Amino acid sequence: MTRIALFPGSFDPLTMGHLDTIERGAKLFDELIIGVFVNTNKKSYFTSEEKLAIVEESVKHLSNVRVVGQENELTVNVAEKLGATFLLRGIRSVKDYEYEKEIALMNHHLDQGLESVFLLADPKYSHISSSILKEVWTFNGDIKEYLPEAVYRALEEKRENSEK
Ligand code: ADP
């Protein structure tokens, strides 16, 4: 049996915390598919195409990881189409746990064949989120160590273009 997992998220943008979860998850499953989705509760900074390109570039060293983009579709339906029977998510805190529990129980209600698997965030990255990094970036704070290289480059390009 091939164990395929889907790691859905908005990845706006991908952080070292996400990448750490991806690298550890890739060891647990035969195939790990990153789903670059739209979170309807959050306003996106990067376009879906930009996010997809950045994630692809950042996971190219992992041979059993691939990336898909999807808009306006339930995660459980995407998982079914991809043949994924596991959902991977990360947990940084009790707050994440409460949020992830709601999502996992709802996904279980929608599809009992799909098992949610959680990895605890590495303490090095458990205080970072895409939102806090974007906020610090806006005010020129140093966040380089928390961002994969492709993300840092994309942020710099965005800044240069907005200054033109
Ligand atoms: P969403 O908008 O669906 O919550 P995110 O891109 O914010 O998507 O996060 C995707 C997943 O990655 C979530 O399970 C989240 O808890 C997890 N995650 C976010 N930041 C980190 C981090 N620093 N370390 C580990 N996991 C993280």
Q: Which atom of ligand 1 is nearest to the CA of 37?
A: 3
Q: Taking 90 as the threshold, does the pLDDT of residue 1 lie above it?
A: no
* pTM more than 0.85: yes
Q: Is 63 annotated as a binding residue?
A: no
Nearest to 46 by CA among 14, 75, 78, 19: 14
Ligand 1 nearest-atom number relative to CA 42:
2
Q: Is 58 labeled as catalytic in the residue annotation?
A: no
Kindly state the percentage of the chain with pLDDT values over 70: 100
The CATH code of the domain at 4-163 is: 3.40.50.620
pLDDT attached to residue 64: 98
Domain extent listing, the chain = 4-163
Q: Is 109 a catalytic residue?
A: no
d(CA 39, CA 96): 15
